[in-house]
Amino acid sequence: MIIEKISHRTAEGAKKVIFEGFSEYFSEVREDLNPDLHDIVSTYSRKGHIFLVGLIDQKVVCTGALTREDEQTGRMVRLSVAKAYRRQGFAKKMIKELEKQAFILGYNKIVIETTKGWEKPIRLYQDFGYQIDFTTSDQVHFTKKLPDSYQKFFDK
C-alpha cells in the first residue's frame, strides 16, 4: 500500500471507503452529517490538517486524517479500511504515518474518539499506546503523547 495526500483524483474513492465503513455500524448513513466529506481536499487543506489515502493499484483502500485541535494537539479522524483489505496491517500503517505527520505539523499529542462498544477500533488504538482519557455515555476518548524525537518513529 502506498500512502499519499488526498487529491481530487482520490477523493471519491476515499468517501466510498468511509461510507462503506459507516454502513457496517449504522442502519442509515447520512452524508449531510459529514460536511467535511463534501469537499475533502479543501476541508483538509487548512493549516494543521492533513488527509491521507492508502492506495493499491491506484485504488483507495484506506483513509486517515488529522485535524488541528489546538497548537499542540492533533485529532485523528476518518481512519477507515475497505472491508476486502482488512486484517492486512493497513490501519496500523496509516496510524504510523499519521503519527509521523502529526509530529511534522508540530503536535506533541494526538487525541482520538470512537463509539463505545466498537471493540475493534478500541483495541487497535490501545495496541498503539493510546490511553483512555475519558468516556461519555456513547464515546471513548483516547490520548497519546508523541515521541520527542522524529527518529523514534523509525526505531519502532
87: domain CATH number is 3.40.630.30
Average pLDDT, the chain: 89
Find all residues with CB under 8 Å of 30, minimum gap 6, and list them: none
Write down the pLDDT at residue 114: 92
Tell me the C-alpha to C-alpha distance, in Å, between residue 26 and each of 4, 103, 118, 136, 140.
28, 33, 12, 19, 17
More confident residue, 120 or 94: 94
Q: pLDDT tens-digit profile of 43-61?
A: 999 888 999 999 999 999 9
106: left (phi over 0), alpha (psi -120 to 50) or beta: left
Write down the pLDDT at residue 151: 56
Write down the pLDDT at residue 19: 84
Write down the pLDDT at residue 130: 96
Maximum Cα–Cα distance across the chain: 44
User: Does the pLDDT of residue 31 top 60, yes or no?
Assistant: yes
- Indicate the number of domains in the chain: 1
Domain range holding 48? 2-153
